């Protein structure tokens, strides 16, 4: 096998505009692509400089919004990011000190579960 990276992760959402506001507006992801592909819309976001992107997909056969659990994001300032999420009305658990580092959890508007981990 010659696999070198994970390119995309698909996150099923019910409303792509709401998801875009959350991931790009609140989390600060960059919108890499937002275009129509026939009857579908391709909406791809990623943290600045990240190698792996997230496709916010509506109406993807075999998926249900909220199905994704454990999407892990890293941050250089977990306390500030958790405070910002709470100020925006997002329910955040943590951060907790764990044997492997500090982590907090929250969900996007569809209930997809996200883990926020401190970098380093």
pLDDT tens across 34-91, in order? 999 888 999 999 999 999 999 999 988 899 999 999 999 999 999 999 999 999 999 9
* Residue 50 is assigned to a structural domain of this protein: yes
Task: Locate all alpha helices (DSSP H) within 8-109, ordered by sequence.
Answer: 16-20, 78-87
Structural domain including 62 reads: 8-118
Mean pLDDT of the chain: 95
Number of structural domains the chain divides into: 1
| Adjacency order of strands within the sheet including 8-12 | 8-12, 53-57, 40-46, 30-37
CATH code, 83: 3.10.180.10
* Residue 55 is assigned to a structural domain of this protein: yes
Q: How confident is the model at residue 120 (pLDDT cuts 50, 70, 90)?
A: low
* Residue 2 is assigned to a structural domain of this protein: no
* Residue 76 is assigned to a structural domain of this protein: yes
Tokens of 27: 């989390």
* Residue 1 is assigned to a structural domain of this protein: no
């Amino acid at each position: 096998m010659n696999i070198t990276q994970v390119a995309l992760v698909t996150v099923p959402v019910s409303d792509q505009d709401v998801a875009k506001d959350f991931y790009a507006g609140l989390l600060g992801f960059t919108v890499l692509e937002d275009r129509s592909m026939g009857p579908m819309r391709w909406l791809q976001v990623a943290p600045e400089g990240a190698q792996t992107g997230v496709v916010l997909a509506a109406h993807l056969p075999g998926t249900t919004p909220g199905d994704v659990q454990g999407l892990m994001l890293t941050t250089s300032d977990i306390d500030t990011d958790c405070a910002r999420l709470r100020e925006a009305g997002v329910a955040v658990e943590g951060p907790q000190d764990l044997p492997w580092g500090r982590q907090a959890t929250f969900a996007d508007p569809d209930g997809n579960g996200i883990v926020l981990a401190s970098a380093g």
